[in-house]
Amino acid sequence: MAGYANYYKYQDFITIVDDDKTYGAYPIDSNAIGGGVGYKDIYTTGDYIVYSLTDLKLAASIAKPGEVIYVPEGVMIEMSDNSAGTVDTIVLRQGIILASNRGYVHEDGTVSTGGVIRCSMVQRLGIIRLLDETRVTGLVIRGPDPASHLQLWDRCFKGKTSGRGHQPGHDYLANATPSVGLLVRGDNIVIDNCEASGFSSSAISVSTNQNNFSSRGLKVHHSYIHHNQMKALGYGVTHGLGYSEIYCNLFNYNRHSIAGGGQPESGYKAYSNIEMGESVGHYFDMHGGGDRRDGTDM
């Protein structure tokens, strides 16, 4: 956690003004970068109040577009059953809002960290799948694996690689099953004022919509995304076939905070985000033809 100190030391010096233009990361509205305290659009209740996985599954199955499933502060919903070796995936159907009250300031001055949805086992397919026009806001989404696994990487590849492409070590690395938090499978989705951490593959994975075309219209903003950092994977937000706009977030301890496979049908626009200073790789990434091995240099 010591890496956070530099951000707080320099948080008032992260922009410069030149010829009346402001450069750097700066709030685009009255909300603080990263969300939390002072966030303006905080839910404090909903159409369905859920306290358990059973409640959440039922609410997700019956909620209608525009209705709110609310996880109260102090509630922690576990998505996995370690004794049975199973992990549930919640599907948010069109127009449903999943919310809590991260950043809400009570009359006594205490601040809510928001309700928690967590998973203590790996889940390749994501613990929450988002379809068209859904929103996740004010929640803590916590995965099972915040580690960087540098020793595993060394055992797989150190002194053994022979260039780009599949290496023998990849087969061994695959034994460390990747975990995914939010899986985007629709258009016009919003993820805001959330904290997402602890996923070895990605906290947010952007994929095709329900018609298997590139998803569009995703907005990820005013969130704190950290400790998604497994060497070789470890993404805050990663893109397959899909487009997104990513702004006013705090990032830390991700291998790549934002990344993409580089397919022609994908991309992202990122601005006014802050990297707090710790990473096992470069912060923002987009693969080229050499990575995809498609014979191009793009």
**Structural domain boundaries of the chain?**
33-291
Report if pTM > 0.75: yes
R_g of the chain, CA atoms, integer Å: 19
pLDDT category, 234, cuts 50, 70, 90?
A: confident
Q: Average the pLDDT over 128-147 and give the result.
A: 94
Residue 267 to residue 269: CA distance in whole angstroms: 7
pLDDT category, 78, cuts 50, 70, 90?
A: very high
CB-CB contact of 46 with 68 (8 Å):
yes
pLDDT of residue 103: 97
What percent of the chain lies above the pLDDT cut of 70?
88
Give 61: exposed, middle or buried? Use CB within 10 Å, 0-12, 13-18, 19+: exposed
Residues 6 or more apart whose Cβ sits within 8 Å of residue 246: 219, 220, 221, 237, 258, 268, 269, 270, 271, 273
Q: Average the pLDDT over 217-234 and give the result.
A: 90
Half-sphere exposure (Cβ direction) of 271: Cα atoms closer than 13 Å: 7
Task: Count Cβ atoms below 10 Å from residue 157 Cβ, excluding itself.
Answer: 17
Query: Which position has the token pair 């919509």?
Result: 209
Tokens of 26: 């700066």
Residue 52 to residue 18: CA distance in whole angstroms: 52
The residue among 180, 53, 202 whose CA lies nearest residue 125 is 180
Tokens of 165: 């492409």
